[in-house]
Amino acid sequence: MSDMSRIKTFNLPDLGEGLTEGEILAWLVKVGDTIELNQPIVEVETAKAAVEIPAKWAGQVQAIHHPEGTTVEVGTPIIAIDTDPGAGPLDTPSTTATPDGDLPTPSAASLAAVEVAPAEGMIEPGLIGGAAPGGRTAVLVGYGPRTTSAKRRPRKGAVPAQTATTVAPAGVDHGVVVGDKPAGTPTIPAPHVHDRRGGAVGAVAAGVLAKPPVRKLAKDLGVDLRTLTGSGPLGSITREDVQQALSGATAAAEPIIATSTATSAASFGADREQRIPVKGVRKLTAENMSRSAFTAPHVTEFLTVDVTRGMKALERLRGRREWRDVRVSPLLLVAKAVLLAVKRHPMVNSTWAGDEIVVKEYVNLGIAAATERGLIVPNVKDAGRLPLRELADALNNLVQTAKSGRTSPADMSGGTLTITNVGVFGVDTGTPILPPGESAILAFGAVREMPWVHKGKVKPRQVTTLGLSFDHRIIDGELGSKFLRDIGDFLADPEAALLAWT
């Protein structure tokens, strides 16, 4: 078998929902490792979830093209695999990213030996995805992006293409993007920029591993990246490195001036600020919430309910033999109340579609979950058809998967109605924002023991507050009030509500 047919390049696949890029969180293999078919090789975070991507071939890892922390577009080569390592050594040694972010220069023979598998399709420059029937590519979940030119807005103050500089020698492609152009572009001398202190600084600081925002910051502040030692992944230069270098240079250049006060004035600059990149799940959540808040006219109603009987019913349920190994929480009671109330008021489970309202006969019940990567809303598919025991198992699995960060994009799509359990944070209720495409969301507050008038006397009772936000284009005040009232009635006395409604 020739080197050309042995080496396969694995491109970042479309992970579903038309996502166009992902961030490499962690490599699960290293150069030289022997891998099996469908073995997880890399963990990638998209705008919806973190997923492990399996290998398409068995073999030996020959090259890793992008270090951890890099955001790459769908269709970009990320790893090279030798599918027949037993056939003998290749013409050139394996390559991987060095701590400085650079790759050893491969030979022309090794470059010619790397090919894209026919199943992936050749991806032309400037295109997302390759040629396939219907103009789409094969993906892990859902439909891939169309074969259309990727359009980007020009950056403000971007260096013209004819003056851009790259790290790699002309004609060599290491698979790593440095600066604003991919490695492999012929090297052209970079113009010099004079900083505000009079020093000449390279325009793109060739040979240094740094993200474009960090390069721009260094350029604006007049810091030469080539003089810095990176503290980021694989020795990359971070924003903090640039700011620390600037503060150090300023302290060295300016003489110390005695002041009349014993202590210096407090600093309110960048050295006491933290900048967190908005990406992945957090970025998608921000976009969805902004779009929903300024598209659907929100109305929120509140209801305070004595749930003492409901909590006692849960205790009796936990005591039953067939339920002793099941986690039974108040959220289960709320979910059942919502599903029963939807049957009585189907219009609540609908979507505004411009010139029509789509009423859905199935309920994909979303449960808002706070994770380390941000807010996600996975949902239980067709929850209205599940018996109570299966609903409890589904809710428990959903919550545990979300906490572990393993929720798939498919589990977060198609939601029709959502519950947000803000009570776990010790608050009474809130005014939740509708997930896009849904017409109602219920906030379930903390269950507290409070004084309550019961049978004409003030007694300590278990009380909670519900908050229902709904799309006023679909749900008017009467419908929203009846729906919320039914949920409250079920929580107050589940047995009586079931007898009355079924």
Q: Where in the sequence numbering do the catalytic residues fall?
A: 472
Pair of tokens at residue 245: 């270098």
Burial degree of 327 (CB within 10 A; 0-12, 13-18, 19+): middle
Pair of tokens at residue 151: 């359009």
Q: Distance between CA 396 and CA 392 in Å, rounded?
A: 6
Q: Distance between CA 336 and CA 122 in Å, rounded?
A: 50
Pair of tokens at residue 464: 């909670």
Q: Distance between CA 268 and CA 406 in Å, rounded?
A: 39
Q: Distance between CA 279 and CA 266 in Å, rounded?
A: 32
What CA–CA distances, in Å, run from 315 to 308, 324, 333, 495?
A: 11, 11, 12, 14
Question: What are the φ and ψ backbone dihedral angles of 109, each rounded to 5 degrees?
Answer: -65, -40
* Rounded (5°) CA angle 406-412-413: 145
Q: Distance between CA 243 and CA 214 in Å, rounded?
A: 10
Bridge partners of residue 306, in order along the sequence:
463
Question: What are the φ and ψ backbone dihedral angles of 11, each rounded to 5 degrees?
Answer: -90, 150
Residue at 135: amino acid letter: G
DSSP string, 357-419: EEE-SS--EEE-EEETTEEE--EETTGGGS-HHHHHHHHHHHHHHHHTT---GGGGSS--EEE
Q: Pairing relation of β-strands 50-54 and 34-35?
A: unpaired
In sequence order, what E strands does 160-318 have? Answer: 177-178, 181-182, 192-194, 200-202, 298-306
- Give the helix ranges, DSSP H, for 170-257: 212-221, 239-253
Q: In 10 A of CB 12, how many CB atoms?
A: 22
- Return the half-sphere exposure (C-beta side, CA atoms, 13 A cut-off) of residue 153: 3
Question: What are the φ and ψ backbone dihedral angles of 456, each rounded to 5 degrees?
Answer: 80, 0
Q: Distance between CA 462 and CA 455 in Å, rounded?
A: 15
The answer to whether 67 touches 33, Cβ cutoff 8 Å, is no
